[in-house]
Amino acid sequence: MPSTHPVTAADLFPQTFERFEFQGPRGRICGRRGGSGPALLLLHGYPQTHVMWHPLAGALAAHFSLILPDLPGYGDSDLPGEPVEAMSKRQLAMDICTLMDAFGHGRFAVCGHDRGGRVAYRLALDHPARVSRLAVLDILPTHDYWQRMDKAFALKVYHWAFLAQPEPLPERLIGGDPGFYLDHTMASWTARKNLSAFHPAALAAYRAAFAATGRVHAACQDYRAGATADFADDAADLATGRRISAPLLALWGGHGIAPGAGTPLDVWRNWASDVQGKAIDGGHFLVEENPTETLSALLPFLTA
């Protein structure tokens, strides 16, 4: 008889993957890991969890030891503290380095989507000896986003200003119907403007995590940090000419949310010397909207 066991997020990953809970200095970091080979850190974005990587996990695990954490404040991981600076990408990058130390990975490749991409490039800037290769999915640096905030782009990424408003305005408004906000936000960032790209079990995991106590507040703190500490840290690096030394791959959705002046490669070349990349047919959620093309672009870069 067919199994009546409902499919869960855990079922989307290879059976060899294990769940972890790491007690760091600023709270627990939870996630999954599996595979074998050189270490590859995968960092998710807003408003998701590490589950977003499930379409690529099996294929990447054949080449790498994968570490897939929920970023602090997201999923099952703890919110690391109340000041806005606690969610700065500089602090989150240090948290992730501590996690990787615990797993015995002094040097590793890192791939980040959305907010995870911001942690990833900050990690590469602040800890260059740790990062062998860097891939960023559908983002530009935080400083560039704010500097390009004209009318058209502000309408497209209104959530940057909305979520960064002082507490408790966005928390209260989203808290009135968090499921609606999550579904509307995710659908609006896809090429098809619906939720068809997301596996039902993954979508259920995102909804449950987003509605959990403190998660909306943590995400708002993340965006408040983006408007303050992260912007200032990026500006300081630009002023001093500090650049990313690791080879960098930038992938973006052909129908994604990156601003349209030039290509993301033009921007990333201001931040790194060794830059390559391409557009992927899809919207913002490359891994779930077009896993085949995303994997085909990632794997040669990561295994080079």
Would you please indicate which residues are annotated as catalytic (active-site) residues?
A: 114, 284
Angle between helices 89-102 and 115-126 (to 10 degrees): 80
Can you spell out the DSSP letters for 178-195?
HHHHHHHHHHHTSSSSSS
Residue 261 DSSP SS3: coil
Angle of CA points 75, 19, 206, to nearest 5°: 25
By the 8 A CB rule, do 122 and 93 touch? yes
The full length of the chain comes to: 304
Closest-CA residue to 298 (of 121, 50, 131, 63): 63
Amino acid at 202: A
By the 8 A CB rule, do 126 and 93 touch? yes
Structure tokens at 287: 């891994």
By the 8 A CB rule, do 114 and 46 touch? yes
